[in-house]
Amino acid sequence: MTTTLRFTTALLALLACTSPAAGQQATGTEPAGTATVSAPAAAQDEAPAAESSWKKGRPITMQYFRPLDKRGINVFETTKSPGVEFTGFKLDFGAAFTSQVQNLSHSNTAVPVMASGVDTNQLADIGFGFNNSTANLALNAQVAPGIRVALTSYLSSRHHNETWVKDGYMQIDQSPIDLLPLRMLFEIATVRVGHMEINYGDAHFRRSDNGNAIYNPFVGNYIMDAFTTEIGGEVYLKTSGVIAMGAITGGEIRGTVLTPGQRGPTLIGKLGVDRNVKKDLRVRLTGSMYKTDKAMNSTLYGGDRAGSRYYYVLENTAATETAQKDSGLINPGFKNKVTALQMNPFVKFRGLELFGVLERAEGSAATETTQRVWKQYAGDVVYRFLDDNLFAGARYNRAHGELAGIAGDAGANRWQLGAGWFVTPHVLAKAEYVNQKYFGYPPANIKNGGQFHGTMLEGVIAF
């Protein structure tokens, strides 16, 4: 079977779940001579609402909320617009499911390193196939005007087969106390408390989060994937297109009261502007800072327990998809001290989107006496057309710096070319060509002369 035929078959398999929606798009024209029976008046009234629910997305019932579907694209922090009126307690369930077809090849020039008669630098034999599907469950409760509770669980992921909780937090956008000073403050203020995805940088708003890959115009995330969840609180001020945020967290994924002398608070800050300069022109620019001086296990660049989209690339024959979940990514290994800065420009002019990542991070692990530095640059160019239902784009990403035990500069360059089709606001099909090359790794390292390239298909359902 040729590669083209295999990918056509795979794409049809990924989109099979959209057949009910496709059936709804049919004209419904009856054969000549077929009798037509008028629908009851109630059914006629419900028809426009039913059509709107799949053409525009299901109704939003939560306040100050980012939709899980197409409407959530290019939404960063939630705004101070409630979106919907509070009419009493509401409970809302959402979900997202994602599957990929992978056709990647990889190679390296590393010298053999033998252990128990096995070359640990021999690459795994990979080829065309389906990756295991991943799924998210989102639970939201509107408990009071402007007060929402959110809980996200991973039903399945590359790293865990069992269900586990990603995050849970409360977001407050209106004062629960009826005092004029507090009501005035919450006209521009937002407070989040709980165990949540930290708001460092803007790239995490565009990444794939396990089962939810709707927001990402590509299949893979950035090489240095700044994403983690931590316990703490965030305070936002949002007014006239200006965003300011300050946060304090425990600095680690898991909370604990043990070894207090080896742990300390982490400070996170963000400042930026996000404005519609003209009717068709939106400009956003933010700068973020993440700083922890004392931690046992900081995971700023290793907190995505769901894992990478590129399975087994540059991994050896003993690798498993769970243990080597970060294939294709680079984690600098800053476990105990981290100071990271990220700047993100974003410009949207009609259907054209430009997004950038400029990042510098320095830190160390417990056994290191000096700090190492890593830098990352990335640029996305995406064009959306036909009412934003189709898009195509390109991304260049470079990350490099010092790794523990490796002399000199090491890193990787990556090109991604992608395209996608929103069958409905809840259903997305994506295709991507990726080419990543590693540099600076010594001959005995499996990534010496390493590269992988090929094509990915991805199907996403989110609602």
Which CATH class name applies to 65-462?
mainly beta
> How far apart, in whole angstroms, are the C-alpha atoms of residue 300 and residue 288?
13
Give bridge partners of residue 432 from the DSSP assignment: 418, 456
Per-position DSSP letters for 239-302, written without gaps between them? ETTEEEEEEEE-SSSS---S-GGG---EEEEEEEEEEEEETTEEEEEEEEEEEES--SS--TTT
Largest CA distance in the chain: 86
- How much is the pTM? 0.88
Residue 173 near residue 82 (C-beta atoms within 8 A): yes
Distances (CA, A) of 432 to 104, 149, 165, 206, 458: 11, 35, 30, 16, 8
The pLDDT of residue 409: 96
pLDDT means over runs of 10, the chain (463 residues): 50 48 37 43 62 83 97 97 96 97 98 95 97 96 98 92 91 95 96 97 97 97 97 97 97 91 95 95 98 94 92 97 95 96 98 98 93 98 97 98 95 98 97 98 98 98 97
Contact 54, 463 (CB under 8 A): no
